[in-house]
Every structure is written in structure tokens, then in C-alpha cells.
Amino acid sequence: MPRQTKGALALATLAAFAAASPAAHRRSSSSTAYPTNSGAPPTGPYEATWGSTDKHTPSPEWFKDAKLGVYWHWGAFTTAQHGSEWYPRNIYRAVDADETERPWHEKVYGDPDTVFGYEKFLLGGKDLAGNHVEFAPVLKSEGGEFDPESWIAAIKASGARFAGPVAEHHDGYSLWDSKVNDWNSMRLGPKLDLLKLFAKLVRDADMKLVIAMHQAFNTNGFFGAAKNQTDPALRLLLGQLSHEEGSERWLAKQLEALDHVQPDMIWNDFALWQPGSCQDPGSPNGSPICGIREAERLEFLAYYFNRGLEWGQEVLTTYKHTDYGFRDTSAVGDWERGGPANITRPYWQTDDAISASSWSYTEGIKYYSSKEMIHSLLDRVSKNGNMLLNISPTAAGILPTEQVEILHAIGAYLARNGEAVYGTRAWDIYGEGPNRAGNGTPNRHLVGDGRDIRFTRSQDEKVLYATLLGWPEGGKTSIASLGSNRTVSLDGLTSVQLFGAVAGDYVDVTDYAQEAGGLAITLPQKPAGEEQLGYVLKLTFAERIPVPQPEEGVTVWPAGEITAATKGVTLEKGDFTGAFLAEAGLKGEDIAVIRVSKGWKATLYDTPDFSGIPMRGFIQGEWYVELGSVAAIKVEPA
């Protein structure tokens, strides 16, 4: 049967499905209709209210220990291998200086409105040269090039501890055997339940499973420039639905996907609730609300958290940190291709890409260097974050050699230096040196050198890891945060060691001395082998890593005598919420002493989120405050 005829029949079937089975795409506003393959709704302590879902721990310990995950953008949007993963959107948009997809699409495939719309990549069609075009990768085991086992092997070699696919992107195509969305990979394209296939491979490789769900934008303007459709099936694919219908469809897909593979983590891309952020000027469909209704968002959170308890898994969900659809009291904020300039709490994540030009594979794709990827990972970990790194397989299902090499380079670094990464926690000071990154999303990747240091610490707070981002000039370095001018005593420092050429190897460092400006260290001979992208110093203390008094900021302490064993916290410039203080290890209510550096000021608040009236401010000196009176602290120049 000619492929065009097959595509026409498939579209007719989808249209009939959409028209005859509205229950598959929407639920009653008065009662929850769960996907047919989800089983019984979960029972558990979480209810669909913020007060209830906020009782869920946002970031479980396994996630804080893992540091690195890998996921991939791959699907029908990859078929053209042109532009970016937003190719399906941009072929319908008017041409501007930044978007070339429409003229290229018209030249290769034809007009997207009348000849070759995005649906043809799923149903099958012919380009203008007469070639058949369809997203239909064939497994290598069946004579094709799609080799998911090799992807997972490369990911495992990177040192990633969690991994998984974008299960549905903005394009409305589900990579699982869906009963709520006929536009899925089991019915159209490869005829495979890709999500289940990937889930098994990830778990067989002893990694946690993450799935990324990006479909909120589908019904909030991704196809905003496409003409209004009369075919019900195309309206579903292109997200031409009311806010109510779009919210219900979003929830149905969320619940179905999570019940399908029981993920440890779900990463939700934007448009959960960002009014005004999805507007498409000139769209024939008007400006979308750019959000999912609160009822559906809360229902998802409660359902997933209860399912996690039922499965015996510590689950988490992440969201774009600029999106107001979720909040960091129950979910983890994500900084796309970026991160904060300083330590940020609660625990956060960045999703980043191995490519500098696109999240999905395109011809001529550009890559970041291994150095940029590794140094950016170290920078983010030092600031209390994880990195979820994206890879970009080809439409046929091949992971390009360049990407495999970058993954292997990251893995080689972590195999040698993982002790200073996995299972560690951020110190109070993230790093030192002239090269910095952060303070936005997206932002440039870090390329450090021997002048730069990034810190992490052991969970028992007895070991400080200082990672040099290159070999320092003359083999000499200084850790300014441990200088005597920071009122730091190093009497409890029992050893300084340099990580050796292989994991578990240490070289004792004996030439070090505390000076006013820092702990001056002369390194032993440079480890053998090729140049490394980081050199780790391990400083071990008898009782606890000391708490530096910053040149710009304050330290806070609990009641009682302050000794080398006392848990204090260094706070540089910023607003420190109750959640920040608690995660740093000293709740606001337990603060009894504040030491303020010269030229600085600490203002106390009696509410953890700064919503209340500021209390007394303190300038240079040591100050005693009543226990239970501090909920948040603002640190700024006096």
C-alpha cells in the first residue's frame, strides 16, 4: 500500500478516534477519570492541596548524592535534522532573522499549511524530491540503525546516576503506548513503546529513571502560528484546545506515563503557570493563557507522591525555576542551561545540553568541550545543584561519536575524582578564583584554570574538598577562605592530600602554612599521565571544617560555647530564607549569635519568606539574639 494512502487512512482513524472517544481526552470537571491503564487511583497521605503536597520532601538524598543525570531529546521533531527541537513550531511561523525553518521546510517538503504539515513526519509523506519521509527508526537488532543499548552504555560510562528520555515534547507525540493520545510511538512511527524500552535499559544499568514531560506548552502556544484545524485529530496534535481541555489532557498524559514506567523523577518543562510567557504575536489562535489549571497541577503532585509511597520509591519532580506552576517546598527548581551565581538553597538542578546549538540533533550540530561540561558540573555541584545533561541522537537512532567521546571524558574525570563529587554537599562558600559562571539562565559555561577552586564537603562535615580547575602556576595555590584573617583556626586540620592518578590514590601534602591571606599550599609533583581537567585537594579535620568569617557577610551560630565542633554557617551577600538556613544546617529559630563583618549589615525577619516586617538590623560586631526570634536574614552592605 502506498505510504501516502497509509498516512491518509491513519489520519482518518485518528480523527474518528478523537470524535468518537472524547472520554479518552478529557475528564469530567466533577470527578477524576484516570487513564484506563493506570490501575486504581493511589491512596496515601497526600491530597490535592498545597498544604498537603508541601509536606513532600522536594529532593531525596539519592538525588543529592547523584549529581549527574543524562536525558535525551529525540522524536519526530528530529526527523528533518534541521534548525532545532522547535522545528515543528517554527515551520508555521513567519520568517525572521533568527528562524530559517519555514523557508527551508518549504524548499524541501512544501508549504506546511497546505502540502506537508508536521503530522506528515508521523503519518508518512513525500518530500518534493519524491523521497518517503517518516519518523520510523528501526532497531539495530532488526536490521536498522537504532541502537538504544549503545546510548545507555555511553550514559553509564559518563558516571550518570539517573537517566531517561523526553517522553513527550511540545509537539504532542507520546513515546509510549498511550490510551489517551493516539499520536504515539506504538501506533505511528517506529511501532515501539519507546518509553518502556528505555525505562528497562536504564534500570538494567542500575540508574534511577527520569522522564521529561514537556507537553504543557503543546496546548499553550507551541503551534500557535499554525492555521486553525477542523480535523479533530489535528486539533489534538497541534494543541488547539481550550484551557480546560488542555489542562485535562496534560494531566491524563502525566498520570498515564508515570503509571506506565514508575519513574523516580519527572522533569516538567515550562508553561505550567507562566501567564504571558507563551504569546505568539500574530497567532491566528490568539494569546494562550500559558499555564495548566491549578486543580490539575495539584492532582498530579498528590497522585505522583502517593504512587511513590505505594511503589516504595523516593520520587521527585522538577520544574523550571521561573515557572509558578510548582514551588520549591515540594518540587525542585531547574535552571535551564545555567545556574545561580552563588550557593542557592533549597537544592536545585540545571538541565543543560551537550550541544551549543540545539537540544535535538541537527546537521552541523555544534558541541561544548569536555572541559566546559566538566567545569560547569563542578561549579553547579559546589553551589548545591545537580546537572541533567542532554544528548542528541540522530533521527535514525545513532548517538554521534562526538557525543560519546564527551560522555566518556566526563566519566573518566568522575571515575578518578568522584569522591569529591558523589555524595558530597555544598560548603558555605562555593569557590574562589577569577573565572565565574551563573547568575542567570541561560548563561555561559565555565572554563576555569589553575587559579580557580570549587569546594564540596563530606556529609559529616569533616572533609573539605578543594578542586583546582587546572594545575596552578609553579605548583602553588592558596585557599583564601582558610586564611587567618577569616578568624579560622586550623588546629584541627589533620591532613592535606592530593588525589592521585587513580581513584583511591592519595599523595600527602606536607608543605602548607596558614597565612593572613589564605592557606598557602605547595603541591607535590604533578600526577602522572595526561593533563587533567581538575586536581582535588582533600583537607581532613578532626572535628569539623572551620567556619570562615567572610570579608563580605556574616556568620551565624547556635547557643552555647563556640568551639571547633560547633556548627556555624557563613552567609555572604543575599537573602537567606528559613528554608535556606535549615538546609545549611542551622535553623533560624536556633540562631543565637551573629557575627557581622566590617562594612556589612544583617537584618533579621520573623517570617521565613521575608513577608513580615524586618526586625532589628546589626552592623559590625558580635551580637546575641533571642532564641526563636530569627526566621530569615538579609545580608547587605551597611
Q: List pLDDT tens digits, range 381-391.
A: 999 999 999 99
268 φψ region: left (φ > 0), alpha (ψ -120 to 50), beta (else): beta
Q: Give the pLDDT band of residue 20 (cuts 50, 70, 90).
A: very low
- pLDDT value for 532: 92
Q: Does the structure show a pLDDT above 80 at 279?
A: no
How far from 509 is each of 300, 301, 475, 490, 526, CA to CA, in Å? 53, 50, 12, 15, 12
Angle between the N-to-C axes of helices 243-261 and 194-204, in degrees from 0 to 180, rounded to the nearest 10: 40
Burial class (CB in 10 A: 0-12, 13-18, 19+), 351: buried
Which one is predicted more confidently, 535 or 20? 535
- Here the contacts of 18-22 (C-beta below 8 Å, separation 24 or greater) are 18/182, 18/232, 18/233, 18/235, 18/236, 19/232
Can you tell me the mean pLDDT for 300-315? Answer: 98
How far from 45 is each of 40, 42, 325, CA to CA, in Å? 16, 10, 21
CA 367 to chain centre: 19
User: Are the C-beta atoms of residues 230 and 240 closer than 8 Å to each other?
Assistant: no
Neighbours of 14 (CB within 10 A): 24
Q: Does the structure show a pLDDT above 60 at 269?
A: yes
CATH fold of the domain at 553-637: Gamma-B Crystallin; domain 1 (2.60.20)
- pLDDT value for 16: 53
Q: Distance between CA atoms of 457 and 464, rounded to whole angstroms?
A: 5
**Which CATH architecture best describes the domain 431-541?**
Sandwich (2.60)
- pLDDT value for 170: 98
Q: Does the structure show a pLDDT above 80 at 557?
A: yes
Same fold, 3-27+68-420 and 553-637: no
Domain boundaries, the chain: 3-27+68-420, 431-541, 553-637
With H, G, I as helix, E, B as strand and everything else as coil, classify residue 8: helix
Q: Distance between CA atoms of 163 and 638, rounded to whole angstroms?
A: 46
- pLDDT value for 525: 87
Q: Give the pLDDT band of residue 9 (cuts 50, 70, 90).
A: very low
- How confident is the prediction for the chain on average, in pLDDT? 93
- In percent, the amount of the chain with pLDDT more than 90 equals 87
Q: Which CATH number fits domain 3-27+68-420: 3.40.50.1370, 3.40.50.2020, 3.20.20.80, 3.20.20.70?
A: 3.20.20.80
- pLDDT value for 160: 99
Q: Does the structure show a pLDDT above 70 at 22?
A: no
Which among 100, 97, 96 is positioned nearest to 86, based on CA atoms?
100
- pLDDT value for 526: 87
Q: Does the structure show a pLDDT above 70 at 23?
A: no
Q: Pick the range with the lowest mean pLDDT from 169-173, 287-291, 447-451, 468-472.
A: 287-291
Can you tell me the mean pLDDT for 549-576? Answer: 97
With H, G, I as helix, E, B as strand and everything else as coil, classify residue 218: helix
Radius of gyration for the chain, computed over Cα atoms and rounded to the nearest angstrom: 27
Q: Distance between CA atoms of 215 and 442, rounded to whole angstroms?
A: 21
| Residues shown for the chain | 638
Q: Does the structure show a pLDDT above 60 at 36?
A: no
Which one is predicted more confidently, 13 or 556? 556
* pLDDT tens readout for residues 410-435: 999 999 999 999 999 999 999 999 99
Q: Does the structure show a pLDDT above 60 at 3?
A: no
- pLDDT value for 130: 98
Q: Does the structure show a pLDDT above 60 at 26?
A: no
Q: Give the pLDDT band of residue 300 (cuts 50, 70, 90).
A: very high
With H, G, I as helix, E, B as strand and everything else as coil, classify residue 552: coil
- pLDDT value for 21: 42
